[in-house]
Amino acid sequence: MALKRCRYLEAAADKRLSRASAYRCLAPDPVQPEMPASITGYYRFKWPPERAYVCVDDHCEKCPMYEKAAPR
């Protein structure tokens, strides 16, 4: 499969963060939806949610935030 970089990947600066070619995603955080106090009052509740590193070939193609990167 061809490498399809997303404009939100930190890969623009080629900062690979692991041996598995995982990169940090810099997509904007979603707006927090209305939630009841039973969720937001939970002691581990945190907004925005934590992020994981993504692999270009596995995650970008299926991501709803995907936007093709501008050519270098």
pLDDT digits (tens, 9 = 90+) for 21-61: 777 888 898 898 998 988 888 888 888 888 888 877 667 77
23 phi and psi angles, rounded to 5 deg: -125, 160
Residue 2, pLDDT above cutoff 50:
no
Provide the residue ranges of all domains of the chain, joining segments of one domain with +: 10-62
pLDDT: is 16 or 34 the higher one? 34
Whether the model pTM is above 0.85: no
Helix ranges (DSSP H) in 1-72: 37-40, 56-59
